[in-house]
Amino acid sequence: MSVGADPAALDRYSRVGAELRARLACVRQLLLEVDVPGEARLPVLELATRIAELVELEASTDRWVGAFGRALAIADRGWLERGGADLVAAAVGVGDPQGAVAGLRALRRAESPPAAYALASQHWDPASARRVARLDPVLVGSTDGLPVQVRYWANRLVLEQERDRAMDSQRRLVLDRLLAPDPATGSDRQFLLVDAVHDGRVVEVLGDLRGADHVVVVVPGMGEDLGSFDRRLRPRTARLHEAAGALAPSEQTAAIAWLGYDPPDALLDHPGAGVEVLSSASARAGGRLLVRMLEGIGVARAGHLTVVGHSYGSTTAAAAVLAGASPGAVVAVGSPGMLVQHTSQFQRPATRFFTMEAPGDVVAQTGWFHADPNSRRAGFDRLATDGQGHSAYFDEDSRSLANLAAVVAGRDDAIELVEGR
């Protein structure tokens, strides 16, 4: 474990290094351009070559020292004490894909935060990133903090592998569908996570996450799994993405269909699942995973981030806020409870909290997880709805969807509120 170093001094070292390397490159150019008598040509060329080698070596040191210094600034004392910054330095310092994968595995064993992976991968070029993704697609595809484009490639490989070894024809069909191009864009779909084990987990990005002015994450509730992803969560997210984009046509909006956790099975599908649904354990575990994902894509604390949780997914969204997420807005849609009695308990003065309850939505009236968020005493702003029951909030051309889109797009003038119960 390395301790005691001053991150600012190491940052200065790597910045000074960039200037020095530029100067060395000028010296080399000077030697290559000057008139050289014939017999001096060979030693001068050799000198220029040695200077080029020195520039490369210095760049390599600058890269890992810079990453090491920035890793020291990551606010995770336990991880730093476990030698986390050294692991980042080791992962950055390697030039081959095998070494990069070994570095990522070491970071994984040390339970590193997403920022550590972002530092470790910051100098990957597209070609080497693809080679790393091919070596261990499951690791690369599931690691929050790695560049999203690399994860998209890796998760495509994961999907292909899973499809090729799927024995069950139903599962193969589901995976084939996920591998097919996005019908809206004709391009490959963008998966931030594919985990086909048991119920399965999938996270898909719609739009360009990196250039987005507004990002919405849609968190599903009970009964969602790999098999239902394309039938429910994905189309709901796509409709919200489209509606929000239409409200802010001059800005970029990205949406994330986030089945990044294992929600409880539906009550009606599995009669014995009642106890599981009534526990907040899955929501709390999911909340921690959601925080990681948000940190990994660099929008955890962005003001333009909206988290929309449907049903039990709203409880998961609440757990994410309690675990450290600071989105600009949280919308609890048909929520059975938000783990607090009042929004002030979230201690997020900059976050806006909304709720949505359609007539006949019995889940939204349960208050299973602490208080009923639709009560006016809970501190949420209640958005107007027009559908009936628990599953109409994302219906096309609905007032509910328009209201969700207005929150996502930051169009306060288009938000329609109603009195809470």
Partner 1 sequence: MSLTTEAAPLVDALHLAAAQLEDAAIGRVRSAAAGRVGWIGASRHRFDDERARRDVVVADLIERCRRLAGRAW
CB closer to partner 1 out of 5 and 173: 5
DSSP class of residue 54?
H
CB closer to partner 1 out of 107 and 330: 107
Near partner 1 by CB under 8 A, which window of 56-64, 95-103, 358-366, 384-392? Answer: 56-64
35 binds partner 1 (CB under 8 A): yes
Distance of CA 281 to the CA centre of its chain: 21
What distance in Å separates the CA atoms of residue 9 and residue 69, rounded to the nearest whole number?
Answer: 8
26 binds partner 1 (CB under 8 A): yes
Write out the two tokens for 23: 């100067």
CB atoms inside a 10 Å sphere around CB 123:
15
3 binds partner 1 (CB under 8 A): yes
User: For the window 142-181, what string marks contact with partner 1 as x by the rule CB under 8 A?
Assistant: ----------------------------------------
- Nearest distance in Å: CB 78, partner 1: 17
CB atoms inside a 10 Å sphere around CB 1:
10
For residue 306, give the nearest of 334, 326, 278 by alpha carbon.
326
* Residue 349 CB partners (closer than 8 Å, separation 6+): none
Q: Scanning the structure block, which residue is given the tokens 């474990």?
A: 1
CB closer to partner 1 out of 95 and 360: 95
For residue 160, give the nearest of 151, 170, 172 by alpha carbon.
172
DSSP class of residue 383?
E
Contact indicator for 357, 400 with CB cutoff of 8 Å = no
Total of residues contacting partner 1 (CB under 8 A)? 43
Subset of 76-135 contacting partner 1 (CB under 8 A): 83, 85-86, 89, 93
CB closer to partner 1 out of 6 and 176: 6
Near partner 1 by CB under 8 A, which window of 7-15, 195-203, 260-268, 351-359? Answer: 7-15
- Nearest distance in Å: CB 86, partner 1: 5
54 binds partner 1 (CB under 8 A): yes
Residues in the chain: 421
12 binds partner 1 (CB under 8 A): yes
CB closer to partner 1 out of 45 and 180: 45
Q: Which of 30, 246, 414, 418 binds partner 1 (CB under 8 A)?
A: 30
CB closer to partner 1 out of 20 and 266: 20
CB closer to partner 1 out of 95 and 126: 95
CB closer to partner 1 out of 68 and 369: 68
* Residue 256 CB partners (closer than 8 Å, separation 6+): 192, 203, 204, 205, 206, 209, 215, 216, 217, 218, 237, 293
- Nearest distance in Å: CB 4, partner 1: 4
Near partner 1 by CB under 8 A, which window of 51-59, 131-139, 360-368, 404-412? Answer: 51-59
CB closer to partner 1 out of 30 and 184: 30
For residue 199, give the nearest of 277, 263, 258, 140 by alpha carbon.
263
Provide the strand spans (E) within 113-195. 190-195
- Nearest distance in Å: CB 44, partner 1: 7
Contact indicator for 261, 289 with CB cutoff of 8 Å = yes
- What does DSSP say about strands 352-356 and 381-383: parallel, antiparallel, or unpaired? parallel
Cα torsion angle, 332, 337, 339, 345, sign: positive
CB closer to partner 1 out of 68 and 261: 68
47 binds partner 1 (CB under 8 A): yes
Near partner 1 by CB under 8 A, which window of 5-13, 307-315, 331-339, 386-394? Answer: 5-13
- Nearest distance in Å: CB 95, partner 1: 14
184 binds partner 1 (CB under 8 A): no
DSSP 203-243: EEEES-STT-SEEEEEE--TT--TTTTTTTHHHHHHHHHHH
* Residue 359 CB partners (closer than 8 Å, separation 6+): 385, 388, 389
CB closer to partner 1 out of 43 and 360: 43
Q: Which of 23, 109, 165, 210 binds partner 1 (CB under 8 A)?
A: 23
20 binds partner 1 (CB under 8 A): yes
DSSP class of residue 146?
B
Cα torsion angle, 168, 174, 178, 180, sign: positive
Q: Per residue, what are the HEC states of 58-90?
A: HHHHHHHHHHHHHHHCCCCHHHHHCCHHHHHHH
Residues forming the site for partner 1 (CB under 8 A):
1-6, 9-10, 12-13, 16-17, 19-20, 23-24, 26-27, 30-31, 34-37, 39-40, 43-44, 47, 50-51, 54, 57-58, 61, 65, 68-69, 83, 85-86, 89, 93
